[in-house]
Amino acid sequence: MQAGKCGAMSAWSGCDVQGGTPAEGEYRVTAKGGSELQSAISKAGWRIIPLLSVGYLFAYIDRVNVSFASTQMNIDLGFSATVYGLGAGLFYLAYAMVEIPSNVLLMRFGARRWLARIMIMWGLLAISMMFVKTPTQFYTVRFLLGLSEAGFFPGVMYYLSTWFPTKQRGKAMGLFYVANPLAVFVMGFISKPLLAMDGLYDLRGWQWMFLIEGIPPVLIGLAVLAFLPDRPDEVKWLSEGERESLRVAVAEHPQKHEDHSAGGMLAVLADKRVLLLTAIYLLTLAAGTTFILSAPAILMERTGWDIGHVGWLISAGGLTAAAFMLIGGWITDHRGERYTVLYVALGFDVIGYLMIAAAPSAWMVAAGLILSQIGRGAHSTAQVALWADVLKDRRMAIGAAAISSVANLGVWLLPIGFGMAKDATGGYTFGLWAFPVMHVLAIVATVVLMRMVRMKKAGTAA
């Protein structure tokens, strides 16, 4: 195939632009096939990603809206920072416990039915948070919420890997994952009005928040049940040529030559590269989520601003993270590697969290938040795209769930320790120093991972 005939389509098709026989892990594609592949990817992107992204937006809202609710709820119910940290973190313990079984069942029952089940159940449990009165009830509902939502994120990661070829996967995952920081933006924007409903029909503002934000996932789950396709070969909106082009493109992988005969979770976890991916995700997810779970209270303490101004700051941070999540996904796809974005993004996180912990003025704290969210957005996309680079085919479902499960154990523990540090010292400053340290460790793990992958490639080439 001549390079001129591949042209612009090579970024979508993966065709051999050098001519001659395609290299291993590549495939030959005609101009017509390339056009059909681009058309299939475009159609899949518009019909699949928006629905899943809206679902993930409300998943994250219902996971961490307790951070805004706690500014009223903890006072009303007499919860200490330790009680709150334990309850907030229990979600992630439950989440970690059943992520892998959840993804196994997703493969058995299909993405449409299983993801719809997840959404409907978590929506109903999110609403039930409005009835919490005691620490035990708080712990129980948060634990059940984690059980119900478990498997959604890694399930979607696997699902997208069955619809999008490697060269478009970073962009697709970025478009989905952008709902995470957008959820922070939405929470910061709407939380003050919801809390201001305090007293309406004898309900507190935090109760209205749980009620109103728990209804959409139920409705979205019903929409997923009605409209989300399980596989490309069962949809009518793709032509026969589009389905075949997409099937061939998704089946190919740059590292197809690797031996993956040993299946199952233990084989995935035994891979040192996967262990390093897990370490990076654990460090960044635990730090970022623990901060978000207490962000309103932290920023009110560090800046002296009220909940309204802090809400706007958090919204600005969420919007910033969303923008850089998309930018990071585009850059990693364009460069064909993820590590540079990871290094730079993690560096922004380190600087941002140092400023939040130590800056002497409110505006410098605010600047630190924005820097940390630039890093959070960019490194999130680079990480999940790396998962799909390392894990192949159906093992992506088990591998992504395994990485996420171990990382969420860290998210269970860190909020508890963070709350205990706050109760012991009377403020958040001491606990905040853990966040830049964790991101420095993530940089070290990224360096080791990159060297390991390059050495393996060099050894294979030799």
Would you say residue 78 has pLDDT above 80? Answer: yes
Would you say residue 46 has pLDDT above 80? Answer: yes
Listed residue (239, 297, 281) closest to 410, CA to CA: 281
Average pLDDT rounded to a whole number, residues 122-137: 93
pLDDT of residue 268: 63
Average pLDDT rounded to a whole number, residues 33-52: 82
Burial 28-53 (b: 16+ CB within 10 A, else e): ebeeebbbbbbbbbebbbebbbeebb
Listed residue (3, 322, 19) closest to 178, CA to CA: 322
pLDDT of residue 282: 92
Would you say residue 208 has pLDDT above 90? Answer: yes
Angle between helices 272-303 and 362-390 (to 10 degrees): 160
Helix (H, G, I), strand (E, B) or coil at 197: coil
15 within domain boundaries: no
Q: DSSP letter at 433?
A: T
Average pLDDT rounded to a whole number, residues 164-186: 77
- What's the distance, Cα to Cα, between the start and end of the chain in Å? 27
Q: What is the CA radius of gyration of the chain?
A: 22
CB 187 within 8 A of CB 62: no
pLDDT of residue 459: 67
417 within domain boundaries: yes
pLDDT in tens, 233-277: 778 888 888 888 888 877 765 444 444 444 455 666 677 777 888
Q: DSSP letter at 397?
A: H
* CATH number (domain holding residue 374): 1.20.1250.20
Query: How far apart (Å, rounded) are the C-alpha atoms in residues 53 and 204?
Result: 30
Task: Report residue 140 as tokens.
Answer: 């129980």
Name which residue leads in pLDDT, 330 or 84: 84
Would you say residue 369 has pLDDT above 50? Answer: yes
Distances (CA, A) of 106 to 51, 92, 131, 153, 371: 18, 20, 31, 12, 37
Average pLDDT rounded to a whole number, residues 353-371: 93
CB 58 within 8 A of CB 216: yes
68 within domain boundaries: yes
pLDDT of residue 14: 38
Query: How far apart (Å, rounded) are the C-alpha atoms in residues 404 and 175?
Result: 19
pLDDT of residue 192: 84
Structure confidence at residue 440 as a pLDDT band (50, 70, 90): very high
pLDDT in tens, 385-419: 777 676 665 556 566 767 877 887 878 888 888 88
245 within domain boundaries: yes
Would you say residue 3 has pLDDT above 50? Answer: no
118 within domain boundaries: yes
| Mean pLDDT, rounded, of the chain | 80
CB 403 within 8 A of CB 277: yes
Q: Give the CA angle between residues 108, 275, 254 to the nearest 5°.
A: 70
Would you say residue 17 has pLDDT above 50? Answer: no
Identify the top-confidence range among 57-66, 208-217, 318-327. 208-217
pLDDT of residue 42: 84
Would you say residue 114 has pLDDT above 70? Answer: yes
User: Which residue range(s) make up the domain with 32?
Assistant: 26-255+262-456
Count of domains in the chain?
Answer: 1
pLDDT of residue 222: 94
Q: In the chain, pLDDT over 70 holds for what percent of residues?
A: 84
429 within domain boundaries: yes
Q: Which DSSP helix (H) or strand (E) runs through 23? A: none
Contacts of 288 (CB under 8 A, 6+ apart): 376
Name which residue leads in pLDDT, 434 or 308: 434
4 within domain boundaries: no
Q: In the chain, pLDDT over 90 holds for what percent of residues?
A: 25
10 within domain boundaries: no
Average pLDDT rounded to a whole number, residues 170-192: 79
